[in-house]
Amino acid sequence: MNRRKAIKNAALGLGAISMSRSLAATQNADQLSGLGQTNHSACVWCYNGIPLEELADRGKDLGLKSIELTTVDQWPILQKRGLTCAMGTLKEFSIEDGWNDPTNHEKLQTAYRRAIRDAADHGIPNMIVMSGNRRRLTDLEGMINCANGLRPMVKLAEEMGVTLQMELLNSKVDHADYMCDRTEWGVALAEMIGSDRFKLLYDIYHMQIMEGDVIATIRKYADYIGHYHTGGVPGRNEINDSQELNYPAIIRAIHETGFEGYVAQEFIPTYEDKLKALEEGLNICSV
């Protein structure tokens, strides 16, 4: 009887331990789930050929909250379907002719005064800006020119509750001569402007090409980053295991910084069904 009782007690003890471990695992999973509430967006240009209405309807079913790099005339289409535009743009948009050239300032400021007000009227949180190409400017000259041109726009953005975000692009493969091609340069510009309404759009694809060390960079400069874009390296295609970046680890690192903004898919689908590729990317980034 003593032996039977001892076995029974041991079994009960093992059961309690198992239940405790199960509960701990559940709580840990809940914590991870809390980290994994990615706000999903997608860049409209990657899905050319799919009408915006269809992309919005089907994308929402896949988990999208936003379709971005859209313009003011497109925002009502999204909002009618319960979506937003996490990163707005404007029809006068140019990568090459940006804020680092003072001869562009008057034209850009006119366009962005209207665009910032349009964004505020539609509840659009962010508008994209570009440094422009170097064209023999030094880093410091270009930075000062950007700051001088952008300061009045950032002041208006502060008043309107909109954030201007400068995208980091690679100048090695896709955008030769682009100035804002390194995180540290963008951070120095943000310091020079000195406003929470000016942030960096950290494009993971582009910065892997220029700098590598993506996770460490994200952790170091998290306070300066307001938005993320994805893309597989090399080739800027799907973000699955056909390329070199570990996107689940990158997304976990982003969440661990306390980031609450949007992560946007900006890869060029190679699948015949582009929305199947989008669904795969969203699943990969849902960690």
Give Cβ neighbours of residue 17 (< 8 Å, ≥ 6 apart): none
Measured between alpha carbons, how far is 207 from 128 in angstroms, rounded to an integer? 17
Q: What is the torsional sign of CA 103, 106, 107, 111?
A: positive
Which structure tokens are listed for 62?
Answer: 């896949």
* DSSP 8-state assignment for residue 83: -
Measured between alpha carbons, how far is 160 from 144 in angstroms, rounded to an integer? 24
* DSSP 8-state assignment for residue 178: B
What confidence tens digit (pLDDT) does each residue in 109-137 have?
999 999 999 999 999 999 999 999 999 99
Which structure tokens are listed for 244?
Answer: 């070199």
Q: What is the pLDDT of residue 63?
A: 96
Asked whether 167 and 203 are in contact (CB, 8 A), the reply is yes
Walk along the chain (287 residues) and give the pLDDT tens digit of each residue: 454 554 445 445 545 444 444 444 444 444 444 435 899 999 999 999 999 999 999 999 999 999 999 999 999 999 999 999 999 999 999 999 999 999 999 999 999 999 999 999 999 999 999 999 999 999 999 999 999 999 999 999 999 999 999 999 999 999 999 999 999 999 999 999 999 999 999 999 999 999 999 999 999 999 999 999 999 999 999 999 999 999 999 999 999 999 999 999 999 999 999 999 999 999 999 98
Measured between alpha carbons, how far is 159 from 149 in angstroms, rounded to an integer? 17
Asked whether 192 and 143 are in contact (CB, 8 A), the reply is yes
Which structure tokens are listed for 160?
Answer: 């309107």
User: Does pTM top 0.75 for this prediction?
Assistant: yes
What confidence tens digit (pLDDT) does each residue in 6-31 have?
444 544 554 544 444 444 444 444 44
